[in-house]
Structure 1
Amino acid sequence: MYSLKEHKERREQFYKRMEGFWPDLYNVEYALFDYYALTKDEAAAILNVTNRIGHIYRKTARLLRKLPDETLQLLGFRTEAVPYLRLSVLPQETVIARADLAYIGGEFRLIELNADTPTFIRETFDINERVAREFRTQSPNTGAAARLALALKSAIEQSFCALRGNRKPYVVFTSHEDHIEDKETVRYLQRLSGMEAAYVPLHQLRLIAEDIRLNDGSILKRGLYDHEGKRIDVLYRQTYPLEHLLDDRAPDGEKVGQLLLQLWKEREVALINPPSAFLLQSKAVQALIWNLHEEENSFFTEEEHSWISQHFLPTYLDEEYFLAKKQTYVQKPAFGREGDTVVIKNEEGTPIVADSQQTYVNETPVYQQYVSLPEAVVKTVKGYENVKLLHTCFLINGKAMGIGLRAGGIITNNLSYYLPVMIEKG
């Protein structure tokens, strides 16, 4: 064992070598210089469960596209988004998605699926491998970064082909420039793709709504442009949620976010993740899946019903079930991130724990059975700390890979730690 002082020094020296990484966020420790060991069977189970979850969601997407507008609105989708939800341009609904899992009674169960704008990517596919080398251990994600790179390249090429492009595409990766986690996650994906691409912050993008005839007689085509006036073919928006895009307006009040979606619909620009990923983002989709399972609907096969029973949690659009059963439950917004606006309620419906941030109070609420996450002791710069573990696993072009761990309190939020994960020796 070594002292806390030595631990701080080793952590600082290690993460100093990670260019463009954020070991501290909001002036507090984020990335732990420690790791948690899974057995090989546990790692295999996480991948298997995530593949099954991905299968259920992909099948459900086909049903969602057939639902009337009013039903989609009940699932939390705004009226402005509905015209874009039924379109599919890629073989997979989402390029990068992340499942958040709870380990309960020897089984991994889905807390939620972030299908549209998951982060925690560089931690899982890059930093985890470096921690493994530092501690001379085995990572469960060996080789996953190379597979992610192939998926990124494929998605970009397929998206450009959907525009009927037969030349070299101009690809731009974008994010808010002033948020280090968002910016460096996107820059990592840009490098990993291996493609010739640019990084342009969101505020420097420009939309042209109609063709413009210039003084020299040439035509400036409607579309999306960068700050130098170059027309963009593929926009990679990994960390910018589509529901935020719907509200984007220019200084003159023009609804530029909705204009961008219209340009995508008319195949003037490609978006990744595509809007089809947003179709699966609503946590109310989990309620729909659970409802179909509870009524033993023939939409799912017998095997698929067994997967839902085994790997999903009871989830509803009202809280009556939990009040009648006298069970503790979680209220969360249909569209929300990092634990924001999550409330845990007791069997009488009284809040007992609530996240300090309440940004999404106007979103459609979803109610889910509360489960207690497993606990572990980790070493921080302040000493040993007891934490709760949230297991995560990515779906890359529909295939499970990239296992991670968040460590924090009863609600996993943006102040929870990143805990590297390894395979148990022997």
Structure 2
Amino acid sequence: MQSYIDELDTGILPFVDYEGYDDRYPTLSVQSFPAEFYDEIRHASRMLFQIFYKATKVFQQAPDEFALNMDMPENLIPYLHRGNPLGLPTWLSRFDFVLDTQGRLRMVEINADTPCFLIESYYANEVGARYFDKANPNEGARDELERFLKRVYERTSQENSKYNTVKSSEANPFVFACFHDYLEDLGTTQFLMNTMQSACPEADVRFLSFYDMVIDDEGILLPDGSHASNLYRLHPMELLIDETTATGEPLGEMFLDLYNEGRFNLFNPPEAIILQNKSFMSLVY
């Protein structure tokens, strides 16, 4: 059956089809709401983020014992206090809302560390809206994403210059990384990478599979001998911190030690994990 799914560019959304699944990934049905409903979601997200931001500051300023009592992994705690170029605990995140039986919005969680569902929101939804002749509720959002990524690039570049990690004559690589054999992560990572390249044509933007990542005393070593100045990582922090080398060395901790030394910026920063902590939700409440 022909549908809007056939109009999706699999070069942008490569996980339309998953091996072993009878049905394609996107839903065939469409559900629309009044414009006021989308405005309410945006307003709720803005206000909730301010609350989460303030609560994160409380969390970061508390003794380490408090973090332990909030079920934060002990080996992560030393990496949750370094400042970052945007001054925000998460740079890119996604609130999840549900409607209760009275039709009221309820926020159930925030995906603050490694959010996905970006291609669907910024690209596929527009294709679906056009196919069904509906107003695109995310009109203009792609332009906002480009402006945001341009700000990320400019702020991180300023931070690199301030700490002298990059000299004016050297490359300033902004690396986007994930495990390339997981299609959803690969598509999401490349979508953000391509959007940043569009927003910042002058940027040195590169893709790197986590399988090929190498670190040395100066940071993340790239194939051409340079080092990454900035890293977008679609790999959960709670998994990264426990990564080890083939000989049993604490690879995740070594990686984050280099981050704490200012060798590179992380997008999202490690403290994004605080907002996803389920105990943190009770602190917010």
On whether the aligned pair clears a TM of 0.5, the verdict is yes
**Correspondences of 1:191-210 after superposition (within 5 Å):** 191-194=194-197, 195-209=203-217
Q: 1:18 aligns with which of 10, 17, 22?
A: 10
Question: Separation in 1 of the partners of 2:227 and 2:143?
Answer: 30
Question: Separation in 2 of the partners of 1:92 and 1:79?
Answer: 22
Q: 1:182 aligns with which of 182, 185, 194?
A: 185
Greater relative contact order structure (CA < 8 Å, 6+ sep):
1
Deviations 1:358-378 (A, max 9, x none): xxxxxxxxxxxxxxxxxxxxx
Aligned-residue offset at 1:146? 1.1
Give the counterpart letter for 1:160 in structure 2.
Answer: S
Question: Separation in 1 of the partners of 2:254 and 2:264?
Answer: 11
Q: Is the 8 A contact 1:93 1:277 kept in 2?
A: yes
Residue 306 of structure 1 is matched in structure 2 by none
In the alignment, is residue 46 of structure 1 matched against residue 41 of structure 2? Answer: yes
Residue 151 of structure 2 is matched in structure 1 by 154
Q: Is the 8 A contact 2:180 2:209 kept in 1?
A: yes
Q: Is the 8 A contact 1:24 1:31 kept in 2?
A: no
Residue 393 of structure 1 is matched in structure 2 by none
Question: Separation in 2 of the partners of 1:271 and 1:150?
Answer: 19
> Could you say what the CA RMSD is over the residues aligned between the two structures, in angstroms?
1.7
Q: Is the 8 A contact 2:4 2:131 kept in 1?
A: no
Residue 120 of structure 2 is matched in structure 1 by 123
Q: Is the 8 A contact 2:95 2:109 kept in 1?
A: yes
Question: Separation in 2 of the partners of 1:196 and 1:229?
Answer: 14
Deviations 1:329-360 (A, max 9, x none): xxxxxxxxxxxxxxxxxxxxxxxxxxxxxxxx
Residue 87 of structure 1 is matched in structure 2 by 82
SS at match of 2:82: coil
Choose between structure 1 and 2: higher strand proportion. 1
Q: Is the 8 A contact 1:226 1:232 kept in 2?
A: yes
In the alignment, is residue 233 of structure 1 matched against residue 225 of structure 2? Answer: no
Alignment CA distance shift 1:52-1:154 (3 Å)? same
Residue 262 of structure 1 is matched in structure 2 by 257
In the alignment, is residue 249 of structure 1 matched against residue 244 of structure 2? Answer: yes
Question: Separation in 1 of the partners of 2:141 and 2:167?
Answer: 30
Q: 1:96 aligns with which of 92, 95, 107?
A: 92
Give the counterpart letter for 1:92 in structure 2.
Answer: L
In the alignment, is residue 37 of structure 1 matched against residue 24 of structure 2? Answer: no
**Correspondences of 1:276-291 after superposition (within 5 Å):** 276-290=271-285
In the alignment, is residue 69 of structure 1 matched against residue 72 of structure 2? Answer: no
Aligned-residue offset at 1:276? 2.3
TM-score, normalised on structure 2? 0.89
Aligned-residue offset at 1:115? 0.8
Q: Is the 8 A contact 1:206 1:227 kept in 2?
A: no
Between structure 1 and structure 2, the one with the greater Rg is 1
Q: Is the 8 A contact 1:208 1:224 kept in 2?
A: yes
Q: Which runs of 5+ in 2 are unaligned?
A: 198-202
Q: Is the 8 A contact 1:247 1:255 kept in 2?
A: yes
Q: Is the 8 A contact 2:232 2:268 kept in 1?
A: yes
Q: Which runs of 5+ in 1 are unaligned?
A: 1-7, 210-221, 291-426
Aligned-residue offset at 1:14? 2.1
SS at match of 1:268: coil
Aligned-residue offset at 1:254? 1.9
Aligned-residue offset at 1:11? 4.7
TM-score, normalised on structure 1? 0.60
Give the counterpart letter for 2:231 in structure 1.
Answer: L
Choose between structure 1 and 2: higher helix proportion. 2
Question: Separation in 2 of the partners of 1:55 and 1:9?
Answer: 43
